[in-house]
Structure 1
Amino acid sequence: MFHHAEQFDLTPVSNDSSDSSKNIDLYGVESFNSGIGFFYAQEDNTYDDNYQHQQQLKEFGNFDDMYIDVVSPPFQSCEDEIKKIIGMKSQNTEPIEPKKSRSNIFPSASLEFLRKYRNRRLKPDNKISNEIQASHSPTLSTEIIIKLAAENFIQSTSRSSKEISTINHPYPSSILVRSEEDFKSVQLVQNLLSCAEKVAEKQYDRSIKFLNACDEMSSCTGNPIQRLVFYFSEALSEKIANETGRIAAKYSERNFVDPLETVKSPNMILFAFQKDFPISQITKLVGIQAVLDHLGDAKKVHIIDLEIRSGVQWIILMQALTEKNYVQRLKITAVETNSSKSRVEDTGRQLASFARSLNLNFSFKIIAVEDILELEKDIFELETDEVVAVYAAYTLMSMIGKVDRLDHLMRVIKSICPCVMIVVEFEANCNSQSFIGRFVESLFFFGAFFDSLADCFENDETSRRDAESMWLRLSIRNVLVAEGNERKIRHVNLNVWRTFFGRFGLVEIELSISSLDQANLVLQSLSCGRSCSLFRDDKCLTIGWKGMPITSISTWKFQ
């Protein structure tokens, strides 16, 4: 077994600047930056109650087995949703049924996946925060654009599937599109859907034709839809090249500079996320409040962070514990399985410095293992009089493709018996073994992200562009291009995690009112927070963007 443990032990040190730093603005601490965690994610899948019950009765297998194509009603017109958003009067917009003579112009795979795509908007009756839709916006949201394009793709009868989409009104809901930009966006997404369909059917000559059309209309500097399609078409081109050795002519000709070569400091991008992105702030504040809710009167607190990244969340905890004068010591153990040891060491030094400014007795330890199977309880150096909490933010999903590692990790955590385990994961269904299934789900999921970044970074174009090119781009490529063990992006939703956690005796705990209050305060503090919604999903909190689920945060205890 190979493992490395490094510890920073600190005794209280007086500091002349401690008074000014005790009330430090969390989002002004530039030395701490938070990650969004796209690279180690995994998909979620459509998951019905009967299937869930069956899975609970038998041995849990590979997470790929958790994806099931549930028969759903036909893809519905989104007219009602659109009218609520843009405030248009009701009109007769019954879907146009395809003519029998053209009933099979689309291959069944992509058509069925679009039809089966469930309406994943969060339930209004579970909403715990106010979401204000910007009805005055000159353009529709990415979700509505994608739905309109999907509806057109499915119900179009006026042209052959061989034809490139043109701007017209072939489907009922198109009368709700108010601008030339929206028309072009719908056209662009429809061509992207057609391209993906042809790739799935291995009709590469036809797929390249649609790909070239997407390339002509998309841009990494355009509106959210243009940027979304830009990176999706790039991934499709790479997939075509991998499978055929051919690259679409227009794609190879376009003037494209790799954003990763010109991106500014990743740390500055992470800081921008922590400062301006409400979902990042909410998960951290709610998570730390949940930890505090379960510490009780503990005098010694031990936090096990399964992937600490910047560690900015622990500043919040330090500030809260400082107010509890009876807390004698805080110990944080960071578990790492990759090559980021130097970054984690920097995080430890920064946290140690902040603890000194608060005169807080603090120690920081790194446990670095080459393989998670090497992780054992004894490595954590647990003490009988300390209270342990486990924090797992966008971490467990990195092991979905290696269930034996995930099982081992859960057994080790169970042996530690923490007072609470905090889990933060993306709410998406990108783990289908079918390419077109992953494509449809990821298009909606990443579409919501591009929409949110456009709003939240309206005054910071550079950070938005760099975040999209550095995180979203690589994630999209991994979902659509990689196969087998190379595919790391495998988001699964909370229903799948609930079934998995049940195997180890984990019981879901309801978040406190204080946690929900923290989340609402974030939404009120940011102008873009009005498009971000909080919903209850049983006992957990789901955070959505304009009604589309993005992230969930839940708390668990071992029975």
Structure 2
Amino acid sequence: MQRDMVSDPFSFTPLNFNEFQDGYGSIQEDHAVFQGEHGFSAILRGMDTLPTAEEQNQQDDFNFDHFMLEEFNFEPVPQPKQLCQETREPKNKQVLPSSLASLELLSSYGRWFKRVEKQNISRSVETSVSPQKLSTEEIVRLAGARYIQHSTTQWLDDACIPMHPYGFGFGILSEEEYRDVELAQFLLAAAERVGCQQFVRASMLLFHLQWNPSGGGGSPVQRVVFHFAQALLERIRRETGGGKVALDECENKNQERELVEKLKSDTNMALICHQKIPFNQVMQFAGVQAIVEHVAFQTKIHFINLDIGCGVKCTTLMQALAERNERQVELLKITTIGLKGKTELEKTGKRLVSFAESLNLPFLYKVVFVKSIVEIKVEQFDVEDDEAVAVYCPNVLRTMVSDSDSLEHLMRVMRKIRPTIMIVLELEANHNSPSFVNRFIEALFFYAAYFDCIETCMKQDYECRMRIEGILSEGIRNIVALEDGERKVRNVKIDVWRRFFARYRMVETTFSESSLYQANLVAKRFEYGNFCTVDKKGKCLIVGWRGTPIHSISAWKFL
């Protein structure tokens, strides 16, 4: 991709998102792969061992040097061929799982579970009461820890898979929890085989999951397993060529994706999610508080929302500005980008205009309609010199990670606008590893936590829960079934975005104690808000569920 470096002072070589992975990324994978059998033994022995401070510092330094020396490149990195093709396996030879880095990643989740489970067992002994029911993610963690324990012995023959984890030292489980652990183990084994391109063996393992109920029934674990198993089956059919079956399935998937897009614009569902699931309101109030603080002395405010949706999130800002006692707002302008759904965006505008009138708030609404992001121009936003511009970017950038032209163009436009503050919301997840199995493991634990949240918060809203899980299922499919350029949405963590934003001379600004207070206060108002966590990671906020990071919200300024 050629750029005119002279005429454009902010022209950069593209950034390779695949190079930067939180936790176990490409650097750790290289080390693990070359460790061989000794490395595998070390992984198993070191499951409860954390790196020393000196070792961690050395690793951080190495990562930093690697980042500085590596050429930036947006283009997707092709997945390297696996060395364990099933046609090359000698007969009667015991084959250990090949993705050692993936096993190390899996064992890192297992360490966390062992610490938690020891506490549960201790409480059980002290109170003589059965431990509290495990969450969806804890079930998956247990399955992962157990898969690691049996990886060198009992997983050598796919037809003989260890069942019933009695005596494993993880406390007392219910019958349903035992069954869920087994399902998750089968799923992990199948994913490992798919990663090694052993599609026949993977299909045999997935066959054991066929009795699992459909995506709408059963426990959250069973529903997560169902959606991941369906994505694995699609990947196998794509890899092996499914003929007419694959074509029919592709047509059905297109219809499902169209339905998902309609559901995303469903106002009623958006309101129910807003009322039941704490994530949106927690981030919304923290973000609005930060915006209000940065435009406190301005009377003309231009709010650019890059994905306005139903407009629910704008109402909080409108209320906050309408209630200002000093320096009353002379005009609030809200502008959004419209790539499609013109009718819905116009309806959103009418609702916001009506709401502004009820607050006696001077208001103007505008949609910048374009066919693609690269068509956006600064002039289309009609930014006045006396306006304070605030940009709100909710889960938009991740949809452009695989499209370097669009992402780069958007950032250049934002830089020219030079907003007073830019609020960025993204999923705090690493689903962009070039290693399929690593990507699968990260996604499995992330979605397990998300499904647990939906199950907990929306027990009485079956239809809405089903719709949300349908949207999440499309996200799972994007990560698991698709590869390279087909994966349009790429989730990366805040540390990756920090490196990316630095290229555009953006500096991160911290959230005030008031913003953090607002976020925690909102979480406590929800029935199950105690499970929603709000923590600081550097200057940004991480919103999670039962300790698992789900979203990041960060604030930025342009130098």
1:443 partner amino acid: L
Distance 2:527 2:18 in 1: 30
> Contact between 1:424 and 1:551, CA under 8 Å: does it hold in 2?
yes
Q: TM-score scaled by structure 2?
A: 0.77
Q: Distance in 2 between matches of 1:405 and 1:513?
A: 35
Give 1:397 shift: 0.9
Report SS of the residue matched to 1:472.
helix
Matched residue SS, 2:488: coil
CA distance in 1, matches of 2:19, 2:184: 22
Partners of 1:65 and 1:450 lie apart in 2 by: 30
Q: Does 1:60 align with 2:72?
A: yes
Residue of structure 1 equivalent to 2:444? 443
Q: Structure 1's 525 and 488: CA in aligned 2 closer, same or farther, altered over 3 A? A: same
**Matching of residue 368 in structure 1 with residue 369 in structure 2:** yes
Offset at 1:324? 2.1
**Structure 1's 116 and 64: CA in aligned 2 closer, same or farther, altered over 3 A?**
farther
Counterpart amino acid of 1:407? E
Separation (CA, whole Å) in 2 of partners of 1:46 and 1:63: 19
Equivalent residue, structure 2, for 1:551: 551
Q: Which residue of 2 aligns with 1:412?
A: 413
Partners of 2:172 and 2:504 lie apart in 1 by 50
1:233 to 220, 229, 233: 229
Shift of 1:152: 1.8
Is 1:115 the equivalent of 2:104? yes
Query: CA contact under 8 A between 2:286 and 2:515: conserved in structure 1?
Result: yes
Aligned residue number for residue 89 of structure 2: none
Q: Given that residues 389 and 420 in structure 1 are in contact (C-alpha distance below 8 angstroms), is that contact kept between their aligned partners in structure 2?
A: yes
Are residue 106 (structure 1) and residue 96 (structure 2) matched? yes
Q: One-letter code of the match for 1:186?
A: V
Secondary structure in 2 matching 1:215: coil
- Report the more deviating stretch, 473-482 or 372-381: 372-381
Q: In the alignment, which residue of structure 1 is the partner of 2:400? A: 399
Q: CA deviation at 1:434?
A: 2.1
| Paired residue type of 1:139 | K
The aligned counterpart of 1:9 is none
- 1:75-99 deviation digits (Å, cap 9, x = unpaired): xxxxxxxxxxxxxxxxxxxxxxxxx
Q: Deviations over 1:104-159 (max 9, x none)?
A: 643312x43131358579x9xxxxxxxxx999775311222112211222221245
Identity %: 38
Query: 1:490 and 1:543, CA in 2 relative to 1: closer, same or farther beyond 3 A?
Result: same
Residue deviations 1:330-386, cap 9 Å, x none? 0011013x3222211111111011111111111011112222222222221111111
Q: 2:293, 2:65 → 1: CA distance?
A: 31
| Alignment partner of 1:311 is 2:311 | yes
Tell me the CA shift for residue 439 of structure 1: 0.7
Specify the SS of the correspondent of 2:211: helix
Aligned twin of 2:473: 473
Q: 1:484 to 1:362 in 2, by over 3 A?
A: same
Q: 1:364 to 1:350 in 2, by over 3 A?
A: same
Amino acid aligned to 1:381: D
For residues 392 and 545 of structure 1, what CA distance do their matches in structure 2 show?
A: 22
| Structure 1 residue 217, shift from structure 2 partner | 3.1
Distance 1:462 1:139 in 2: 25
Quote the residue 1:537 is aligned against: 537
CA distance in 2, matches of 1:518, 1:43: 36
1-side partners of 2:401 and 2:350: how far apart? Answer: 31
Cα offset, 1:514, TM superposition? 1.6
Shift of 1:46: 2.4
Distance 1:441-1:536 versus aligned 2 partners, 3 A rule: same
1:215 aligned partner: 210
For 2:329, the equivalent position in structure 1 comes to 327
Following superposition, the deviation at residue 244 of structure 1 comes to 2.2
Match among 134, 141, 152 for residue 135 of structure 2: 141
**Structure 2 matches for 1:157-236, cutoff 5 A?**
157-158=153-154, 160-163=156-159, 165-169=161-165, 172-173=168-169, 175-220=170-215, 221-236=217-232
Q: How does 1:274-353 map to 2 (within 5 A)?
A: 274-324=274-324, 326-336=328-338, 338-353=339-354
CA contact (8 A) 2:96 2:156 kept: no
Whose RCO is larger (CA < 8 A, sep 6+)? 1
Q: CA 1:485 to 1:285, structure 2 compared with 1: closer, same or farther past 3 Å?
A: same
Instruction: Mark the CA change 1:58 to 1:436 in structure 2 (over 3 Å): closer, same or farther.
Output: closer
Question: Contact between 2:507 and 2:557, CA under 8 Å: does it hold in 1?
Answer: yes
- C-alpha distance in structure 2 between counterparts of 1:44 and 1:279, whole Å: 26
CA distance in 2, matches of 1:343, 1:119: 44
Equivalent residues of 2:374, 2:406 under 8 A apart: yes
Q: Do the aligned partners of 1:142 and 1:447 also contact (CA within 8 Å) in 2?
A: yes
Judged with a 3 Å threshold, the aligned counterparts in structure 2 of structure 1 residues 44 and 189 are, in CA distance, closer, same or farther, namely farther
Where does 1:418-429 land on structure 2 (aligned, <5 Å)?
418-429=419-430
Q: Which amino acid aligns with 1:433?
A: P
SS at match of 2:208: helix
The separation in 2 between residues aligned to 1:342 and 1:535, in whole angstroms, is: 38
Bigger mean CA offset, 215-224 vs 449-458 = 215-224
Alpha-carbon spacing, 1:67–1:118, altered in 2? closer, same or farther (3 Å): farther
Partner of 2:534, secondary structure, is strand
Deviation of the 1:212 alpha carbon: 1.3
Tell me, in whole angstroms, the C-alpha distance in 2 between the residues paired with 1:67 and 1:306.
32
**Quick check: which one's helix share is greater?**
2
- Aligned partners of 2:491 and 2:20: how far apart in 1? 5
Q: What SS does the aligned partner of 1:108 have?
A: coil
Using the alignment, how far apart are the partners of 1:166 and 1:62 within structure 2? Answer: 42
CA distance in 1, matches of 2:323, 2:74: 45
Cα RMSD of the aligned pairs, angstroms, is 3.3
Match of 1:377 in 2: 378
CA deviation vs aligned residue, 1:300-327 (integer Å, no higher than 9, x gap):
0001111111221111111111112521
For 2:334 and 2:506, the matched residues in 1 are separated by 23
Aligned-partner Cα distance in 2 for 1:515–1:42 = 32
TM-score when normalising by structure 1: 0.77
TM-aligned CA distance change 1:505 to 1:58, over 3 Å? farther
Deviation at 1:461, TM superposition (A): 2.1
Aligned residues, how many?
Answer: 467
**Judging changes above 3 Å, is the alpha-carbon distance between structure 1 residues 207 and 526 closer, same or farther for their aligned structure 2 residues?**
same
Kindly indicate whether residue 497 of structure 2 is the aligned counterpart of residue 507 of structure 1: no
Give the superposition deviation at 1:44. 7.8
Indicate if the aligned counterparts of 1:44 and 1:429 stay in contact, CA closer than 8 A: no
| Distance apart, 1:166 and its partner CA | 4.4
Question: Secondary structure in 1 aligned to 2:551?
Answer: strand
Please state how far the C-alpha of 1:245 moved relative to its aligned partner: 3.8
Which consecutive unaligned segments of at least 5 residues does structure 1 have?
1-40, 69-101, 124-132
- What secondary structure sits across from 1:209 in the alignment? helix
Query: What is the rounded CA distance, in whole Å, between the counterparts of 1:136 and 1:289 in structure 2?
Result: 43
What are the superposed Cα offsets for residues 179-199 of structure 1, whole Å, 9 maximum, x if unpaired? 111111110000001111122
In structure 1, C-alpha distance between the alignment counterparts of 2:241 and 2:303, rounded to whole Å: 49
- Amino acid in the other structure paired with 1:46: D
One-letter identity of the residue aligned with 1:355: A
Q: Measure, in 1, the Cα distance between the counterparts of 2:136 and 2:157.
A: 23
Please state whether the residue corresponding to 1:527 is helix, strand or coil: coil
Question: Structure 1 residue aligned with 2:22, among 46, 51, 64?
Answer: 46
Aligned equivalents of 1:188, 1:291: Cα separation in 2: 46
The answer to whether the 8 Å contact 1:304/1:389 transfers is yes
